[in-house]
Structure 1
Amino acid sequence: MAKKKTISSNDIISFYMDYVLEHNHKPKSIYAFAKQNNFDEAKFYEHFGNFEAIEKGIFQAFFDNTHKALEASEDYANFEPRNKLLSFYFTFFENLTANRSYVIYALHQHKNSLKNYKILSGLKTSFTHYIKDLDIELIDVKQEQLNKIQDKGLTETAWLQLLLTLKFWMDDTSASFEKTDIFIEKSVNTSFDVLNIAPLKSLIDFGKFIFKEKVKTS
């Protein structure tokens, strides 16, 4: 049988996911993997350097597919940051659920240390960029260094929240993972309630007004 001439990264990802789910371990070598799927080994290296790169690519693909679906929605474009993030979570975890067997295989042995798990590094980079692009309103402290610390804290906290949700989903045994949906809604809403700066802004403005009035009358 003639070998496949055209192989995409998605083809290799699909071959890889099928292999590990059928055998419960990685392929023995890239050569054996390519031979089993009837393509030249060189085609593999056009897309990935090793099997770990595929694993990173899979989680990156989950993010990319989620983001692409959201960007295609006219409604999503008009959402406030809170609802955009909720939409991201629900769509992202739908993608994970559609591939749950693989995700559990890939992450289960590291479920207590996801924060440092290398195959999520690409996902973390993309997700933190996504959080920055949401333009979530924070207190403007009029000091560049403090603003940078505040922004860093926001992205790190958002990433930790995603990891906690991922771990909850991995352990969720409820029908249709309905408990994960509840977890998502409550955790995201709570995060934004904590970040609700309108009352604090009003208090700061009131303090400035009182200060100015005292200066005028002194």
Structure 2
Amino acid sequence: MARKKNITAEKIIDLYMSALLTDENIPKTVYAFAHANNFEENDFYKYFSNFDVLEKHIFSLFCENTLALLVENEDYTHYAPKDKLLSFYFTFFEMLNANRSYVYLKLAQNKNKLEALKLLSKLRSTFLKYIESEIYTHSVDLKNKTLNSLNKKGANETAWAQLLFTIQFWLEDTSPNFEKTDIFIEKSVQVSFDLKEIKPLESVLDFAKFLWKEKTMST
């Protein structure tokens, strides 16, 4: 049987996700995976050192593809930071919707939550670079290098926690077309910017009511 030629990183990802969703098990070895898909084992290592690295790359790729789509919209560059973040969230979760079976398998069905969180480490780096360069570009100058660094770190951690919280909500969302996740995104992003501008009460209460309603309806 002739070997496949010019295997790409994107093709390896497609084959891996397909294998995982079909068999529900990680291939035992890179050799077995390459042999089953008719390409050379060494071609895998041109892009990924192991399956763990590959899986982390997949989650980061969801973010990278989201950002690539955003910059294709000429109007996006003129958006205010809040509208940019909303655009990111809606586009990112469209990406996740298109790959929900894989994401659900790796995150929601993974009993080892710490292991699941580690899969998002490269996504975290990609997302925080976006936050720093596009969203929180203007911060309050606290006239102290250490305090400014802590303030920036706090803003980053809050942004990351917000994304994780939204992913968790989406994983548990059973509404048609995940409509409640869209509402969650709108309200949570509004709250995050209102808190930053120190005018939170109305949007925080509105968001709290939404979460309370969701919790009471699901019990």
TM-score class normalised by the smaller sequence: 0.7 to 0.9
Amino acid at match of 1:102: Y
State the partner residue of 1:210: none
User: Deviations along 1:21-65, whole A, 9 cap, x unmatched?
Assistant: 001111121111101111011101111111111101111110110
User: Deviations along 1:73-123, whole A, 9 cap, x unmatched?
Assistant: 111100011010010000000000000000001111448846972111100
State the partner residue of 2:169: 168
How far is the alpha carbon of 1:142 from its aligned partner? 1.6
Q: Is the 8 A contact 2:85 2:135 kept in 1?
A: no
Higher Rg: 1
Where structure 2 has 5 or more consecutive residues not aligned to the other structure, the ranges are: 200-219
Q: Is the 8 A contact 1:110 1:117 kept in 2?
A: no
State the partner residue of 2:44: 44
Q: Which runs of 4+ in 1 moved over 4 A?
A: none
Q: Is the 8 A contact 1:4 1:38 kept in 2?
A: yes
Q: Is the 8 A contact 1:59 1:123 kept in 2?
A: yes
Pair 116,175 (structure 1): closer, same or farther in 2 beyond 3 Å: closer
TM-score with structure 2 length normalisation? 0.86
State the partner residue of 2:82: 82
In 1, the alpha carbon distance for the partners of 2:22 and 2:135 equals: 43
Paired positions, count: 199
- Percent same amino acid among aligned pairs? 52
How far is the alpha carbon of 1:5 from its aligned partner? 1.5
Amino acid at match of 1:193: D
State the partner residue of 2:68: 68
State the partner residue of 1:213: none
Work out whether 1:180 is the aligned partner of 2:181.
yes
RMSD: 1.9
Question: Which deviates more, 110-119 or 133-142?
Answer: 110-119
Question: Which deviates more, 13-22 or 102-111?
Answer: 102-111
In 2, the alpha carbon distance for the partners of 1:31 and 1:189 equals: 49
Q: Is the 8 A contact 2:124 2:160 kept in 1?
A: yes
State the partner residue of 2:204: none
Q: Is the 8 A contact 2:67 2:88 kept in 1?
A: yes
State the partner residue of 2:216: none
Q: Is the 8 A contact 1:82 1:188 kept in 2?
A: yes
Q: Is the 8 A contact 2:107 2:113 kept in 1?
A: no
Alignment of 1:101-140 (within 5 A): 101-110=101-110, 113=113, 117-136=117-136, 137-140=138-141
Where structure 1 has 5 or more consecutive residues not aligned to the other structure, the ranges are: 199-218
Amino acid at match of 2:119: I
